[in-house]
Amino acid sequence: MQIIEAYLEEVASHLMTDMVTEAEILREIREHLMEAVEAGMAAELSPEEAERQAVARFGPAREIAEQFRQVHNESVSQAVLSAALPVLLTMVLRSVVLPWLHSLRGWPTGPAPLFFLALIILALLLPALAVRRWRYGYAAWAFFSVMAILQAGSKP
């Protein structure tokens, strides 16, 4: 298993991710390589030759690390977006839109507040459909954002 371990060390040197993510990535690669080695040994290859072929078929360590890094970076970007978007929307609604609505006649009477609340909820929850991995965290932020907007809307 020296060939596989050397390959994993090379992949790790190019990953540039946090330790937990790196460990998960290396575990996944190791599992795939071990399956390939078992298949090679079942085809009557020597253990060393099965390891060499498994590593060769998996691809260059630098390219594999780059592919995993790209996937991880997209995930981080989505997490940041899912945390920042409700906060940004809340700040805009509380500091710009609500003061403007309060200056209008008829606020908070009539159907305008209910319509406005429906638009707020839609604006806050729509991005959750696109950000599938972080949708539960996003939903929690959206809920607290709606609460903050409602609190600001109830002030005279």
d(CA 83, CA 79): 6
46, part of any domain:
yes
Per-residue pLDDT reduced to its tens digit, 57-100: 999 999 999 888 777 666 666 667 666 777 777 777 777 776 77
Q: How far is CA 75 from CA 10, 21, 70, 81, 121, in A?
A: 23, 11, 9, 10, 25
Number of domains in the chain: 2
Cβ-contact 54, 4 below 8 angstroms: yes
Tell me whether residue 72 is in a domain.
no
Is 133 within a domain?
A: yes
| Residue 35 belongs to domain spanning | 2-59
pLDDT recorded at residue 100: 75
Yes or no: say if 72 and 17 are a contact pair by the CB < 8 Å rule.
Answer: yes
110: which DSSP letter? Answer: S
Q: Which amino acid is at 16?
A: M
Query: Which of 31, 59, 87 is the endpoint of a domain?
Result: 59
Residues 51 and 118 placed together within one structural domain of the fold: no
Whole-structure pTM value: 0.51
148 and 85 share a domain? yes
